[in-house]
Amino acid sequence: MFTSRLQDWVRSGARRVVPALRALHLTPNILTMLGLCICAGSAVLIALGFLLPGGLLLLIASGFDILDGALARVSGREQRYGAFLDSTVDRYAEAMTSIALLYYFIFHGHHTLEPMLVVFALTGSLLVSYVRARAQSLGFNGDGGLLARPERVVITVIGLVVAPLLIWALWILAILTNVTAVQRIWVVWQQARRMAAESRSASGVTTG
């Protein structure tokens, strides 16, 4: 799966800079917030029409999303609040980028197609994350699907850095994020059916 390979490759490189981060007394939560601040700067550039630097800055911000987890694991500071903060900040980061794209398209004369694609892409992205979180809260595994966050970031960055591909990136995000949400709903439904069948089978054995 692309997500796993990408994360493993980036994390292997991230571990090399963890000692320097620890020497600077940076905590995983500080890195998370720094990444959000950089993403905000990227959003400002995108909204103003500076797509290339905005895309590159978004790529740097996504690197902080990897570094905070790597630092937490290496330093033994993995905490539930840190995971909660990281997930919440990720949603804000995606929303910032989408709002910046909406601003850019609306104020550059694109009044219909592109803004709608951004809305559909953001809706799908948020649903992908929500389905996973809600599934986990109920004891299911809500992972999987075509476009997890790393893929979404990569596609967005490519669209921003190579401007002619931006409309295609938005089409991909608008469609495949929602497909991913449906995939996860299907996976959870299958798990629920399997658990219900196992429960009925266990109940039958007990009462028999």
- Least confident span in 6-10, 34-38, 192-196: 6-10
Which pTM does this prediction carry? 0.84
In the predicted model, what is the mean pLDDT of the chain?
85
Closest CA to 183 of 123, 141, 137, 121: 141
Highest mean pLDDT among 107-111, 170-174, 191-195: 170-174
Predicted confidence (pLDDT) at residue 206 exceeds the cutoff of 60: no
Q: Structural domains in the chain?
A: 2-197 (1.20.120.1760)
- Condensed to tens digits (0 to 9), the pLDDT of residues 18-53 reads 666 666 667 888 888 999 999 999 999 999 999 999
pLDDT value at 183 more than 90: yes
HSE of 149, CA atoms in CB hemisphere, 13 A = 22
Q: What angle do CA 124, 1, 186 make, to 5 degrees?
A: 45
pLDDT in tens, 89-107: 999 999 999 999 999 999 8
Task: Write the pLDDT tens digit of every residue in 133-156.
Answer: 999 989 999 888 888 888 999 999
Evaluate whether 196 touches 144 at the Cβ level (below 8 Å): no
Report the catalytic residues.
Answer: 90
